Structure formats: structure tokens, C-alpha cells
Chain A
Amino acid sequence: MTKPPQQQRTGLLQGTLDMLILRTLLYGPAHGHDIGKHIQRTTNDFLQMQHGSLYPALHRLEERGWVVSKWEMAPDRNREFKYYRLTEAGRKQLLVEESQWKQMAEAVARVMWPAAEES
């Protein structure tokens, strides 16, 4: 599979984007632009969403059955957008990825700040 030539500015770990998207969709259905904006806003622009990875990620998630999509009227724009909605499988996947991420973060923390652990 083709690798995106431009990485996220902070070098998002492989698969992390999927988790972030799934987590964002927990609030309710959203379209691609919404999701990107949300992640960017929530991280205070630390994670600048590149559409080059957002759309492939969304389609990948849909292909795997973790999200479903539907064209729906946006309440404020009076136009149809493609809304993505979390499925049951997606919810489960989010839990899995969350716990994996937690373990990973803890493991990294233990190496990086061993003193904090002891005190």
C-alpha cells in the first residue's frame, strides 16, 4: 500500500489516528471536515490534520466495519454532508485501542521517568 509522503507534523503513531477518529465519533455522527477540525481544536492545533491521511483512514475504518456513513443534511449549512457514525464493532475496537494505548503510554512513561514511579 502506498505510504503518505507527508507525515503528521508530530509524527502520529501508526493506528493512533484511527483511535482518535473513533473517539471523536463517540460524541455522535460527524463528517470528515468536522472530525479533522475537532481533533485539531481539541489538541489546541497541536495535531494538524492532513486530509491526505484523514480520508484514507475514514475509508479504511468503513471498510473494516467500524464506522458506517450516510449522506445527511447538516443542521446549520442546509447542505448534505457525508456523516460517519460509530458501529457496535467500532465501539469495541475503540476500547481495545484505548487500552493498548494506555499500556503503551504507561510503558513509555516508566522508561522515561523512572523516579516519578518510585516516589
Chain B
Amino acid sequence: MKWWRTTKRNADLERELQSDLELEEEEQRERGLSSEEARRAALRAFGNPTLIREQTRATWSWSWLESLVSDLKYGFRGMSRNAGSTIFAILIVGLGIGAASTVFSVVNALLLRPLPFRDPGQLVWIANGDCCSTQVEHFADLREQNQSFSDLAGWSGGYSSGNEELTRSGEPERITSVAVTGNFFPLLGVDPVVGRSFTREESEGKYAAPTAMLMSNNFWRRRFDSDPSIIGRKLTLNNQPVSVIGVLPESFDFASIFAPGTPIDVFIPWPLMDKNKPNGNTMAVVGRLKPGVTVENAQAEFTVLGIQLDSQHPERNGIKPKLAPLEKHVSGEVRPALVVLMCAVGVVMLIVCANLSHLQLARMGTRQKEMAIRAALGAGRLRLLRQVLTESVTLSLCGAALGLLLAVAGTRGLAHLSAFNLPLLASVQVDGSTLAFTLLAAVASGVLFGLAPALQVPTYKLREGLQAAGRESSGSGPHGWFRDGLVVSQFALACVLLVGAALLIQSFLRVLDVNLGFQPERAAALRIDPSFPISNAAQANSFIDDVLQRARAVPGVSAAGISDILPLDGDRSWQIGAKGQVYDKNNHPEGFIRVVTDGYFEALRIALKSGREFSPSDRETSEPVVMINESLARTLWPGQDAVGKLMTQDGGRRVIGVVADVHHGGPEREGGSEMYIPMRQTGDYSAMRLVVRTTLPPDSLATGIRVALRPIDPNLPVTEFQTLQGLVDKVVSPRRFLVMLLSGFAGFALLLASLGIYALISYSVHQRTKEIGIRMALGANSGLVLRGVLATTLRLALAGVVLGTLGSFALSKWIESLLFGTTPANPAVFSGVDLLLCAVALLAAYIPARRASRIEPLQALRTE
């Protein structure tokens, strides 16, 4: 049945009833009744024609739509009559749903949506122990010997932002490249949109001298305006010609998946067999499982392989393969935070529902008369119930429309927050599943907050309904406990959210307070790798001397040094040991390697604990020296003075100084062992970063330093000055993200809860006007009334706070893994939140309470 035929059908039914009614009338007349009597008798025999019509229509398939349309019309009319409270309700639902949909989009992108690879479920992340990357030789053996994977691929973990210099095609620019194994893209199932992937010859060339490169879609668009003719052209990377062979699809965002926060511009092949590649654990490994093989099976095989390789190759670094599904590896760290956010959004939605439930209940109270009349005119209970639910769902759908706008804005904002160190953030968007979620959330919340008022419908009795004339006789009527319950639950839920937010804010502050081992404020770094080839150590050292001397002369620079890697911005680890010591193969000390010059420790304010720092005279010709941090000193020479001892590195380096530990993995991670090698005594570094400490804002310094260094290297590319504070901000950004959102939710919850208690108290004061009037007429003074209302409020708030405190106590274990430097049962946090809630409740109730205390007895008694 099509809807446009319904009109025709209606006319048909009308005609049918009319003709049959006339027939009845005729028959009655034939029996001898007067025409007036016959008409009445016929109507009596027929019954209520409207009801017959409605019931008959109900048998038609489209009747539900028809009644829905009329319910909607009716609902909209009611909503526009009550514009103020309608707008308020839509606003609240809109904010709640907007928050929920935004968080859902993030969760969808990070946890639910599959990774943009072919059969992502087969991809496995293969780590080495808990910390480290894998040595290339181990990778080659594992790839050769394993049975579980159809192939293994990897990339060099040692890349860093701006490691390539692009010259001779427009403005010189530092771009970021990452070296990948030749089979990396085929293994992931990522095909270039233009051009092709690496060939065998290209991927087995020489280290640091690639002949071919693939471009990220972003870089292609930004730098070459998506020009397909770029394929086959040669670009100059680090003074070497490299052919562009392909462009990767837009859906493939290496950085957002594997290394959030550092966008990658180009991919170069990584020749694994070249002897000149850097030593140590440098490789990040992924594998594609053969069909039917589980991660557990593969882990079992790799554990055995790891032990075999360790015993066969004692000269290599240790290998302890640790496998995890790639999806889990990518989203694993943010999963607990996202789960907390989702729960928080759920709690916010519950508070929204409780709030609106109360609002709708109050509106229903004033509509008792209307409902009673409709019931008297023949509307069934179900029909009225449906009417009320239709109204609340309509309300929540209007809210959802607003919420969707907020979600679109919210996700756009989030996707462009490249400063946030979160995986896949750029792919956060409002898509089909977000739309479905929004719709579902809207309908569910509409039903939830419409249910209580709707269930009240059957209790409307005609006589009472008409008599009560839109007014419940007493505030503590049959729904008093329910209204109280709504407010108590809002306070309990808000309490849970506030406690969670407070604990995380406290953790965030503790994280910011952590002594990183260096002082990021007023420290900045700039890539200064020479654009001309350097052939020997003497030439490199004169370059270093020149750079440092000129940099230190720039006004505002108080200290300057050079380093290959910055704290919080990458790592490289080796097995290291004291000379003459034999270590257990499985327990060999490992450390992070930094290649630095004199001035580095001063520029970053890394404290020297004993011995001396590097000096310009620690050169290729002098004794090989090394500096270590306290952790390494404790590990290698427990209880002894490390200064003067010898290390195995490069055939023996003497320890000349011990410095404080640096939290190079972020404030929340322990530093671990570190070893500093003087840059003037080694060629084993892949970048030169000038690190300066300034008395001026770092940005204003950039030009000065560039001008100062131009005489040494006129091609010095124009790149951003990197502040160390920026690096710290990036590392703590996931936590900042969580704290920001959660605080927002908690604030919203607090606002809703206070609105809720304000509405309840106003309502009950309004209901009790007469009672209060009588009491005041009998001698109660206004102070007593005020105190009475506030005491009621406090009772409700306390009930909510007690429930909420118990609830958060039970739930706080869940966020324990997200806490830092605080405990889930922090008494200060709990008591602070409880006090805040009670204070807010009293404040919200003060306005209606004051109104109650100002009631004029005579006037109050006359209002009835």
C-alpha cells in the first residue's frame, strides 16, 4: 500500500460508512420511526464513527505512519508553545550528543575501523623485548627461517624529522624520509596511486644513497601540486639525484599509524645487506601471517627462533621477539584512555537524560488536563504513551541535528591537531557509522528520558485530571521520590565524572612536574647538516668548530652544542659493557646512544654529577672518551666511581664524566641507560642538530643563527626552529587530550547537575507555595523556610555525593593504569569533589530557596 493511496482509501471508507449508516437509518424509518429518531437509532447502533474510522485505519499497513505524522505535528505544536524549555532541552541534548558523537568518531577511527591495509587482521607487529627495535641481521635470519609468516618487512626506526635536504627544485627544504625494506608496501597491500613500488635492484643499493623514492600523497600535493609528471623525474636529496618512482595513496598515512606526530614526506629503500648501515637495534618489523596461523602460534615459533639466534650469534645484540596484532599495537596505548572517554560520555548522556526526564515530567504535570481530555475523547492509553514518546524522541532528534553539527566541527578540529601525538587522529571524521551512532544515541536517549513521563500517562483519570487543572496538589506527590531520584542520580554521576577528571588532572600536573633531567624551557634545536659532502674526520671537526663558534657568538645564545638525536625525539640502542667484564647473553646491559659535542649538556642544562664534560680538545687524535648517565654508571660499576673506567665501545673508551638521567622517552618513562659519544671522535651519526639555550624567545633567534651560519653553508635550508618545550608538549599531548576532554565533560556534568537541582527545588517551592504560605501565616519566619529548603537540597546532594563517592571508589581501579603520581583513592581528590558538589548544590538551590522565604502568606493562600 502506497501512502498516496491512503487518501483515496480514506474517502472510500468514509463513503462506505456513510452508505451503511444511511441504510441503517432507512431501515429504522421503514420500521416506523420518525426521521430524527431513526437517525439517532442508527448512530446508536453504529457506535462512535470516529473510533470505527480510527480502528479500521489501524488495520491498514500505513496507519502507523499516519498517526506518527499526527503525533509529530502535535509534538511540534507543543514544542513551539513551550519554546524556552524546548530550546533548553535541544541545547542540552545537542551538547551531549555532540560530545558523544565526537568521541565515537575518535573511537571509531582508532579502535573500530580496520587499518587501511589489505587484510589488516593478518598483520603482526614484531617487537624485540619490551623496549627495542631489532638488529638487521636478526631480521634477515628470522625472515629466512620462520614458517608462520608469508613475509616480514620493516623500516628504519632511526629516522627523524627533517632528515633529508631537498635542493635544486625550488626553495631548499628539509623533508622527512624513512627507509623501508623493498617488500614493505607489497606486504601491507598498499599500491602507489601513480607509478610503482621499489624494484629489487633499487632496494639492494647502497645505504644512504638511494636511487629511487616514493612520495607520500600529502607531500606530493603540497610540494608538487599533485602533478603526475613528477614520476621519473630526479630530485636532489642530500646532494644526490634520486628518481621519483611513485606516489602513495592518500589513505596511507605512515606517520599517523606507526609514528604519530612526525609526518613522513618520502620513502627510500633500505639496503639491508650494505655494510655501511648503522649498527645496533635499528629496525621496526611487521609481518603478514600465513592464512590459518594465529599470533600465538607465531609467537611460539619466534620465541624458539630467538633463543636459537641468541646462542648462534653471541656477537649480536639480544633478540626476544614479542608479537602482537598490528591493530593492537597501533591503538594499544590509547585504548584505556578511549575506554575512559567513552564511559565518561555515556555518563554525561545519562545525566542529560535524567535532567530532561525531570523537565518532561514537569511539562507533563501541566498537561494533565490536556491528556485527560484526549483520553475522554477516546484516545487509547497506548496512543497517548506513543504521543509522549514521539515528542521526546523528536526533541532528542532535534538535539541530535545540533549534536551532529558539533561533532563535524569537533572532528574537523581534532583531525587537524597534528600537535597531538595520537595515532590515526587525521582520519577522524564523521562518517556513516558516526551518523548511525548519532541516530541511535538520539532515539535511545529520547526514549530514556521520555519513558518516565510516558509511563505516567495511564494514571491520568478524567475527573482528577480535569479537577487538578494542571497542578499537582502537593510537592511530595506520587512522583516526588522519582524526581528526587533523578536529582540524586545526576549528582552521583557528576561525582563519578568529577573524581575521574580530578584524578587525571592531578596526574597531568604531576607529569608536567617531572624532572626530565634537562630543562626544555628556552632551549631550541635546528638541523644544520652540511649540504656539501664531508670526506674525513678533520673536515667534519672543523665544520663543528666553526658552527659552534659562530652560534655562540649570536646575541642571546648562552650555550650551544650539537647532537644527533634530541631527547623525546627518537632513540638508538646498543649493547654496552665495561671492559674486562663478561655479561650473561640474555642479560647484557643495553643503553641509548647519543653523539654530542661540548656545550650540549650546558645547552640542555643536563647536570654533571662527577668528572668533566667533553671539551673541544676531545678530537679524533686524542684518547677515545665517553660520558654516561647515572643509571648506566650504577649498572656497570655498582657502588664504584665510574670516572676513569674503560668501556668496550670502539675498542675501549674512557669514562670522563657522569651526568644526570634524561627521560628521553617522556616524563612517564624511566630514562634507562645512556651513553654519550663525542661527535668529534666518531662518524656514526645520521644528523646534526644545533642545540642552543637562549635568553630570548627561540623564534626571534632563528634568523640570527641562520645569518650567522650562512657563510659556512650558503644552502642551509629554511626549516623551523624546534623548541624542546614543543617536544615535551608533544609527548604529553595524549594525556593533555584526555584531560581536556574529560574536564570538559565533567564541567558539563556539573552544570547539568546544578541545573537539575535548581529545577527540582524551583518546582517544589512552586508546588508548595500554599503550604509555605500557611506555615508562614502560622509563624514560621523566612529564615526557617530558607533553611528548610536548603536542608532538603543538601540532603539530596549528599545522597548523590555519597552514592557517587562509593561508585567512583569502585570504578577508580579502572583508571589506575592512566594515573601518574597519584592513587585511585586519593582522599584529597574525593573530599574536594564532594565539597564542590555540595557547594554547587546549595548555590543552585539558593535562588528558589530565597524565593520561598519571600512568599507573602496572604498572596500564597489566594493563589488557589
Closest chain A residue to B382, Cβ basis:
A2
Write the B37-65 contact mask toward A (1 if CB under 8 angstroms, else 0): 00000000111100110111011110000
Q: Is the CB of A52 within 8 A of B23?
A: no
Q: Which residues of A contact B479 (CB under 8 A)?
A: none
A23 within 8 A of B: no
B683 within 8 A of A: no
Interface string of B5-31 (1 = CB under 8 A from A): 000000011011101101110100000
Beta-carbon contact of B16 and A32 below 8 Å: yes
A9 at the interface (CB under 8 A from B): no
Residue of B nearest to A6 (CB): B47
- Cβ of A60 and Cβ of B59 under 8 Å apart? yes
Partner of A82, one of B15, B22, B48: B15
Once A2-B58, A56-B58, A82-B12 are accepted as A-B contacts, the answer to whether A33 and B20 lie under 8 Å apart by CB is yes
Contact partner of A81 (CB less than 8 A), chosen from B23, B45, B47, B56, is: B23
- Any chain B CB within 8 A of the CB of A85? no
Cβ of A55 under 8 Å from chain B: yes
Residues of B within 8 A of A45 (CB): none
Shortest Cβ gap from A14 to chain B (Å)? 14
Is B383 among interface residues, defined by CB-CB distance under 8 A? yes
Is there an interface contact between B52 and A55, defined as CB atoms closer than 8 Å? yes
In the assembled complex, the CB of B458 is this many whole angstroms from the nearest CB of chain A, namely 14
Inter-chain CA distance A77–B24, complex, in Å, is 12
Q: How far is the CA of A4 from the CA of B13 in the complex (A)?
A: 18
Tell whether, in the assembled complex, residue A82 and residue B59 are in contact, meaning their CB atoms are under 8 Å apart. no
Contact B54 A2 (CB under 8 A): yes
**Given A52-B51, A56-B55, A59-B56, A80-B19 contact (CB < 8 Å):** yes
Which A1-35 residues sit within 8 Å CB-CB of chain B?
Answer: 1-6, 31-33
For A77, list chain B residues within 8 Å (CB): 23, 26
Q: Is A99 located at the chain interface by the 8 A CB criterion?
A: no
Find chain B residues with CB under 8 A from A31 CB: 16, 19-20, 23
- Report A-chain residues with C-beta under 8 Å of the C-beta of B16: 31-32, 55, 81-82
In contact, A3 and B52 (Cβ under 8 angstroms): no
- Residue interface bits A45-68, CB-to-B below 8 A is 1, else 0: 000001111011011100100000
The one of A3, A5, A6, A56 that contacts B56, using a Cβ cutoff of 8 Å: A56
- Taking the nearest CB of chain A, how far is it from the CB of B70, in angstroms? 14
Bound-state Cα–Cα, A32 to B15, Å? 12
Give A79 to B15 CA distance when docked, in angstroms: 12
- Measured CB to CB, the nearest residue on chain B to A79 is B19
Residues of B in contact (CB 8 Å), total: 28
Interfacial chain A residues near B56, Cβ < 8 Å:
55-56, 58-59
Q: Is the CB of B59 within 8 A of A52?
A: no
Cα separation A94 to B708 with both chains bound (whole Å): 103
Q: Are B19 and A82 in contact (CB under 8 A)?
A: yes
Give the chain A neighbours of B807 by CB distance below 8 A.
Answer: none
Interfacial chain B residues near A71, Cβ < 8 Å: 15
B704 within 8 A of A: no
The answer to whether B24 touches A33 (Cβ under 8 A) is: yes
B380 at the A interface (CB under 8 A): yes
| Most A Cβ at <10 Å: residue of B20, B61, B383 | B20
- Chain B at the A interface: SS class: helix
Q: How far is A71 from B58 in the complex, measured between Cα atoms in Å?
A: 22
Q: With a CB–CB cut-off of 8 A, which chain A residues contact B23?
A: 31, 33, 77, 81
Q: Which residues of B contact A4 (CB under 8 A)?
A: 55
Known interface pairs A2-B54, A2-B383, A55-B55; A81-B19 also in contact (CB < 8 Å): yes
Please name the residue on chain A nearest to B379 by beta carbon. Answer: A2
- In angstroms, Cα B52 to Cα A4, docked, is 9
Question: Contacts of B19 on A, CB cut-off 8 Å?
Answer: 31, 79-82
Contact assessment for B48 and A52 in the assembled complex, using a CB-CB cutoff below 8 Å: yes
Q: Report the separation of the CA atoms of residues A80 and B23 in the bound assembly, to the nearest whole angstrom.
A: 11
When the two chains form their complex, are residues B52 and A51 in contact, meaning their CB atoms are under 8 A apart? Answer: yes
Within 8 A of B (CB), among A59-101: 59-60, 63, 71, 77, 79-82
> Is the pair A63, B59 in contact by a Cβ cutoff of 8 Å?
yes
When distances are taken between beta carbons in the complex, the residues of chain A under 8 Å from B13 are 55, 59
- Nearest B residue to A33 via CB reads B20
Known: A63-B60, A63-B61, A82-B12. A2 touches B55 (CB 8 A): yes
CA distance A5 to B58 in the complex (A): 14
Nearest to A58 among chain B residues (CB) is B56
Report whether B55 and A52 are in contact in the complex, using a CB–CB cutoff of 8 Å.
Answer: yes
With a cutoff of 8 Å between Cβ atoms, the chain B residues found around residue A53 in the complex are 55
Of B46, B60, B61, B380, which is within 8 A of A51 by CB? B46
Residues of B within 8 A of A33 (CB): 20, 23-24
Least distance between B264 CB and chain A CB atoms (Å): 62
A17 to B484, CA, bound (A): 50
Shortest C-beta distance, B390 to chain A (Å), equals: 16
Per the bound structure, the CA–CA distance linking A60 and B382 in Å amounts to 20
Complex: how many Å from CA A82 to CA B383? 30
> Is A52 in contact with B52, judged by CB distance below 8 angstroms?
yes
**Alpha-carbon gap, A88 to B56, bound state (A):** 24
Nearest CB in chain A: distance from B28 CB, A? 12
Q: CA–CA, A79 to B20, complex, Å?
A: 11
Q: Say how far A28's CB is from chain B's closest CB, in angstroms.
A: 18
Partner of A2 from B12, B26, B380 at Cβ < 8 Å: B380
Chain B residues in 8 Å Cβ range of A81: 16, 19-20, 23
In the assembled complex, the CB of A83 is this many whole angstroms from the nearest CB of chain B, namely 10
User: CA of A59 to CA of B17 in the docked complex: distance in angstroms?
Assistant: 12
Q: Are B58 and A50 in contact (CB under 8 A)?
A: no
Most buried by B among A2, A52, A58: A2
Give A49's nearest chain B residue, CB to CB: B45
* Chain B residues positioned under 8 Å from A82 (CB to CB): 12, 15-16, 19
Residues of chain A contacted by B24 (CB below 8 angstroms): 33
In the bound complex, do residue A51 and residue B47 qualify as a contact, i.e. CB atoms below 8 Å apart?
yes
Please give, as numbers and ranges, the residues of chain A lying within 8 Å of B60 by CB-CB distance: 59, 63
CA distance A24 to B60 in the complex (A): 23
The residue in B13, B15, B46, B383 that gathers the most chain A C-beta atoms within 10 A of its C-beta is B46
- A6 to B46 alpha-carbon distance, docked (Å): 12
| B422 CB, min distance to chain A CBs, angstroms | 52
Q: Considering residues B26, B55, B61, which has the most beta carbons from chain A within 10 angstroms of its beta carbon?
A: B55
Residue of B nearest to A3 (CB): B380
Q: Are B59 and A56 in contact (CB under 8 A)?
A: yes
Taking the closest CB of chain A, its distance from the CB of B332, in whole angstroms, is 52
In the complex, A71 Cα to B12 Cα: how many Å?
A: 10
Residues of A within 8 A of B46 (CB): 51
| Bound CA span A32–B20, Å | 7
Looking at the complex, which one of B47, B59, B383 makes contact with A59 (CB distance below 8 Å)? B59
Contacts of B51 in A (CB 8 A): 5, 52
Q: How far is the CB of A51 from chain B (nearest CB, A)?
A: 5
Residue of A nearest to B49 (CB): A51
* Separation of A51 and B44 alpha carbons in the complex (Å): 10
A2 CA to B63 CA in the complex, in Å? 11
B contact residues around A5 at 8 Å (CB): 51, 378, 380
Find chain B residues with CB under 8 A from A60 CB: 59
Interchain CA distance A77-B23 in the complex, whole Å: 9
Complex formed: what's the CA distance from A32 to B45 in Å? 13
Residue of B nearest to A61 (CB): B59
Residues in A lying within 8 Å of B, measured CB to CB: 1-6, 31-33, 50-53, 55-56, 58-60, 63, 71, 77, 79-82
Q: List 19 A-B contacts (CB under 8 A).
A: A1-B59, A2-B58, A5-B378, A6-B47, A31-B20, A31-B23, A51-B47, A52-B52, A52-B55, A55-B17, A55-B52, A58-B56, A59-B13, A59-B56, A60-B59, A80-B19, A81-B16, A81-B23, A82-B15
Given contacts A2-B382, A55-B17, A59-B59, 19 further A-B contacts (CB under 8 A): A2-B58, A3-B380, A4-B55, A5-B380, A31-B20, A33-B20, A33-B24, A51-B45, A52-B55, A55-B56, A56-B56, A56-B58, A56-B59, A58-B56, A59-B60, A77-B23, A81-B16, A81-B20, A82-B15
User: Which 9 A-B residue pairings sit nearest by Cβ, starting from the closest?
Assistant: A33-B20, A82-B16, A60-B59, A56-B55, A55-B56, A59-B59, A56-B56, A52-B47, A51-B46
**Chain B residues within CB distance 8 Å of chain A:** 12-13, 15-17, 19-20, 22-24, 26, 45-48, 51-52, 54-56, 58-61, 378, 380, 382-383
